[in-house]
Amino acid sequence: MSILVTGAAGFIGCNCVLHLNREGINDVIAVDNLTKAQKFQNLAKCRISDYFDKNDFIARVRNGSAPIPEALIHMGACSDTMETDGRYIMENNYRYTLDLFAWAQKQRIPFVYASSAATYGASTVFVEDVNNEGPLNCYGYSKYLFDQVLRSRMATLSAPAAGMRFFNVYGPHEQHKGRMASVAFHQYFQFKKEGKVKLFEGCLGYGNGCQMRDFVYVEDVVNCIMHFVKSGVSGIYNCGTGRAQPFNDIALTVVNTLTGQDLTLAAAVEKGLIEYIPFPEALVGKYQAYTQADLTQLRNAGCDVPFRTVQQGTADYMRYLMGAYPDGVLA
């Protein structure tokens, strides 16, 4: 079986390729942009049959010379929610996706792509409906706009197409993401360097570290993606745990896993192991203080993937990072 994965050197894309390899599928066509060459480290862990630069590949799609896979997993995108170059975001996230989708429909290739919970913006209702959506940044808008395209084409699809609305994904192989890497990732290296972890002070009516997100472990996300690759079900689906948990839960699990203790939050703060820092001005008006995926439509689509809690996933991730970066230094 031949699978094409865009963003294959990236965070979720790399985990998709590794999952396929574990299932015995090595005929994987990888597409990415290695301008940031360190991302090759993710690809080096994978078994692939070919590699294309993203610009070369989309040119081949447009001129009819691209290889035809049996399924397309489109994870490639600019995922920086603070990126200010709107033209770049729209070309990279919207136009590229639109062209891949049109090609997949023409060639009758099942298409699973990365949407985002950023489409919901400041909403407190996280159900896949346009009335609940209103992105707060250009990244969210780029995802929102393509979702509207899929919705408008649902009645006339010639091949399955599914959008996965990722909530706060964390886990292995995100080391290249810089400031967009997960809180758990940054806190591991903070603790190794400083002996403590940092969280934002309270905002929007939430106490220190009490802002709540739906944090979802990357392996669970990949299991959801593979369900839609195999099932042939179309639509837009939330991909989160269905549980909002505070950032404090991550910080405390990081501290307890790395120290081998079982401290309470109050004790960890009192000991100086968790520190609260001022909320950054750059995020004012652009920050989701609460997200929680409604999983009704995901479950109705037959996806019964179990999801780790923050405590389970963060502990798993800390053990991975301790093995990969025991000295707390990125190579």
Let me know whether 93 and 225 are in one domain. Answer: yes
Active-site annotation holds for 139: yes
Let me know whether 133 and 84 are in one domain. Answer: yes
Among the listed residues 51, 177, 286, 325, the single catalytic one is: 177
How does pLDDT run along the chain (331 residues), one tens digit per residue?
899 999 999 999 999 999 999 999 999 999 999 998 999 999 999 999 999 999 999 999 999 999 999 999 999 999 888 888 999 999 999 999 999 999 999 999 999 999 999 999 989 999 999 999 999 999 999 999 999 999 999 999 999 999 999 999 999 999 999 999 999 999 999 999 999 999 999 888 899 999 999 999 999 999 999 999 999 999 999 999 999 999 999 999 999 999 999 999 999 999 999 999 998 887 777 678 899 999 999 999 999 999 999 999 999 999 999 999 999 999 7
Within a domain: 127 = yes
pTM of the model: 0.96
Let me know whether 121 and 262 are in one domain. Answer: no
CATH number at residue 24: 3.40.50.720
Among the listed residues 94, 113, 120, 139, the single catalytic one is: 139
Within a domain: 276 = yes
How far apart CA 25 and CA 177 sit, in angstroms, is 27
Let me know whether 267 and 189 are in one domain. Answer: yes
Let me know whether 160 and 304 are in one domain. Answer: yes
Which value, in Å, is the radius of gyration of the alpha carbons in the chain? 20
Within a domain: 331 = no
Domain around 295: 3-171+215-242+291-308
How far apart CA 40 and CA 46 sit, in angstroms, is 10
Q: What is the torsional sign of CA 70, 167, 19, 27?
A: positive
Number of domains in the chain: 2
Within a domain: 226 = yes
Within a domain: 330 = no
Asked if residues 26 and 32 have their Cβ atoms less than 8 Å apart, the reply is: no
Within a domain: 185 = yes
Active-site annotation holds for 177: yes
Let me know whether 57 and 184 are in one domain. Answer: no
Let me know whether 163 and 86 are in one domain. Answer: yes
Within a domain: 148 = yes
State the burial class of residue 300 (Cβ atoms within 10 Å of its Cβ: 0-12, 13-18, 19+).
exposed
